[in-house]
Every structure is written in structure tokens, then in C-alpha cells.
Amino acid sequence: MSHIFVGMSGGVDSSVAAALCQEQGYEVTGVYMKNWTRDVGGVECPWRQDLADAQSVAAQLDIPFKIFDFETEYKDRVVDYMLDEYRAGRTPNPDIMCNQEVKFKLFFETALEEGADAIAMGHYARAWDGRLYAGVDTQKDQSYFLHRLKSDVLARTIFPLGGYSKDAVRKRAAERDLPTASKPDSQGICFIGEVDIKTFLADYIETEPGPIKHYTTGAVLGEHAGAAFYTIGQRHGLHVGGALSNSNHDGLPLYVLSKDMAENTVYVTENLTALMEDTFIIGDTHWINEPPRTAGDAYYVRTRHGGRLTPATVDNVDEQTAEIRLAQPERALTAGQFAVVYEDAPEGLRVAGGGIIRA
């Protein structure tokens, strides 16, 4: 019998993952990762409740339970990364970095050191033979967030929920009468939950007000609270009246097109075509098994979680970069975000890897 350490966050997904591993005959140990305990923006961090919920599920399943304290490493590897990216004017994805550096590195390594044969997580994805596949529920699929995992880690990772829908998971939790069966899903960025990102960033990043200018005319249309707070394609929260004031463009909404961090200026446009791109470069690339093959081979690319899968080619691949050519333009490609590359396989949609979108 294999010994599985299951990451238990106190939510319904990881609770059912632990229950399924137990049903499948594994020796199961539940583990809560203590990653973040600070209150944000006057909102109490829910970690104590999450820990209590995870402990309650473990007690009901009658499995051993551990706490792994990664708070220092989490701050260094995830939070500081996020803050540095925002300071540089980019829009990061801390959930992906959390998976890369904490859940599937620190947790994985510590679990094996303490006697685990493998780990299990409550993500909606599938893995076997060191390869990563999308979950069968296309609405809940989380493979986008997992594309930077290594093949040797995937070979010793179980995703029990990969073949389930969210409704089916809720049903299994109710059938087992798990304490988390009706617990709402967490929302927002991994560690700050529903707290507004600007509220969080304001505690860590020094910013100054600056002009919001029209990209073409250079006209000052308003004032921003700090360029770091804005992302490409953003429409709401600009506080410029929502439209250009001149008669030629009256009534058209405005979108963030670019930012000049050195000049502390946010540029906006009413022209959606200016936000569309079909060719871009990704850097800091990671390929799970092998890099893309012959130039011109067909792949699919997703440029944001929940975004569409767009047919694409991946060319000019070297050790750090690759060129993505989309069959259809995407709106608001954002520096700092990740583009994830998928390919068809007999077992289903397989994740090849991806990289960080460059400006």
C-alpha cells in the first residue's frame, strides 16, 4: 500500500481528494500548508478557520494530520515575486508561482522526506506517466495553473478530482457528510482571498498619482492612483468618466493600452483593435516533457485562466523563449501573465508547458 500525503486546505475539493484516496486503498496523511496568516486591508485572514476545517475532515476520515509551516518561504518565493512584478509594471500570477515553488516543490519534497510515496492535491487536472492533462470538467480545469510542474513531480502526484465535475465533488462530500461539503469556494488571489488587490498592494508598494493620457492624442483625461495598480485591457476603475469627451468619440469606453512606469503614466484607448495581438514572445519557458517539435506543428494556447483555447504554432524555441502565433488575435495580452501551450493526445488535452508573456 502506498503512503499518500494529501494537501488539505480546508476546502471541499481537498477534503474529497483525501476521502477518494482513502477509498482507493491508500494509506493517507492529511497536511495543512501554513503559508499566509496576515490580515489584509482590515480583513481577517481565514487561515485559522481553514486549518480547523481541514483538521475536522481528517478526524472524520480518521487519518493522521500534519501542519507544514512554509510561511517564510511563501513570502520570499510567492509574495515578493508578486510585489516585484507589480512594481515593474507587469501583472503576475501568484497562484502559478505558489504551485511551482510551494505546493509542488516544498510540500512535495517535505512529504517525501517524511515518508510519503506520493502526494495528492485537490486540483481539477489529471496526471500519469509524468505528463499533465486537462481535467474533464472544462469549466473547472486547473491545468493552466499547473503548467510549470516537473515531470518527475507529476510522476508521483495524484489528482483524484481530475475526472470529476464540481457538482460531482460536492455530491461526494455530502454523501460522506464531510464538514466542508457546503463550504463556499475561495475567491480571488490565492492568499488574499476576496480582498481588493489594490488594497493589498497599497500596503507594500509606494505609489504616486500620475496622468491618464489618451494613447494617440496625448491628451490628459484623468489621474491614476498609481500605475502599478492598473493592468492591460482594464476598463473599470479608471475614473475618467468612462468615455472620451470630444465629439468624435463621445460615449466610447476606454481601456488601458499600456503603462510607462518611468514616467508614471497610464495610456488608454477606445480602439479595441489596438488591444488585439496574434504574435508574441514568451520568456522563462518551461516544457514538462519535451519542447515543441517541428516549426509549424499545431498546438493550442491559453493566455489567461478561463480564456479560450486558440489554435497556434510555437516557433523559434530556444532554452528560454519561444514565439507564439495565434490563429485568431487575443485581446489584452498582458506582460507578466502566462501563456500555456496544449497539444492533442490520445488520452486527452495534454499540457506541453508555457512561459511568461513579454511586453
Identify any residues that bridge with 31 across adjacent strands, giving them in sequence order: 7, 66
Assess whether 190 carries a catalytic annotation. Answer: yes
Cα 345 to chain centroid, rounded: 24
- C-beta of residue 189 within 8 angstroms of C-beta of residue 95: yes
Assess whether 21 carries a catalytic annotation. Answer: no
Amino acid at 282: I
The CA-CA-CA angle for residues 194, 197, 199, to 5°, reads 95
With H, G, I as helix, E, B as strand and everything else as coil, classify residue 268: strand
Q: Among the options 173, 190, 240, 356, which is catalytic? A: 190
Contact residues for 85 (Cβ-Cβ < 8 A; gap 6+) = 91, 92, 336
DSSP H or E segment with residue 74: helix 71-74
Q: What share of the chain is helix, strand, coil (3-state, %, to 5)?
A: 25, 30, 45
- Spatial distance between the Cα atoms of 309 and 291, rounded to a whole number of angstroms: 19
Q: Among the options 98, 201, 232, 282, which is catalytic? A: 98
In Å, what is the CA distance from 199 to each residue of 196, 223, 265, 344? 5, 18, 20, 41
- Spatial distance between the Cα atoms of 253 and 263, rounded to a whole number of angstroms: 24
Which amino acids are annotated catalytic? 98, 190
